[in-house]
């Protein structure tokens, strides 16, 4: 059977990946340590709200199935803390 890729989830974690970058895509069969490593490296570029893989994945996988849909992002004190 064919595997359908969700259209709304950005499985590409970097906007301009290099061909040899193995952490640029989140793959269906990645192990949990691989997913954690890749997600730690994925980030939202300042001023680029159009391409934000962590937020896109969170919206698709967490918010769609939460009741009520809620996502809290907490920042460390050394990063400015929660506001």
Structure token digits, residue 43 = 């980030």
Decide: 14 and 54 in contact? Cβ < 8 Å: no
What's the rounded mean pLDDT across residues 57-76? 76
pLDDT at residue 63 above 90? no
pLDDT band at 32 (very low <50, low <70, confident <90, very high): very high
pTM of structure: 0.57
Per-residue pLDDT reduced to its tens digit, 46-61: 777 678 888 888 777 7
């Amino acid at each position: 059977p064919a595997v359908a890729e969700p259209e709304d989830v950005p499985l590409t974690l970097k906007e301009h990946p290099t061909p040899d970058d193995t952490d640029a895509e989140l793959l269906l069969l990645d192990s949990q340590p691989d997913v954690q490593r890749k997600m730690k490296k994925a980030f939202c570029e300042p001023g680029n709200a159009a391409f934000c893989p962590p937020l896109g994945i969170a919206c698709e996988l967490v918010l769609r199935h939460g009741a009520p849909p809620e996502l809290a992002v907490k920042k460390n004190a050394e990063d400015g803390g929660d506001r």
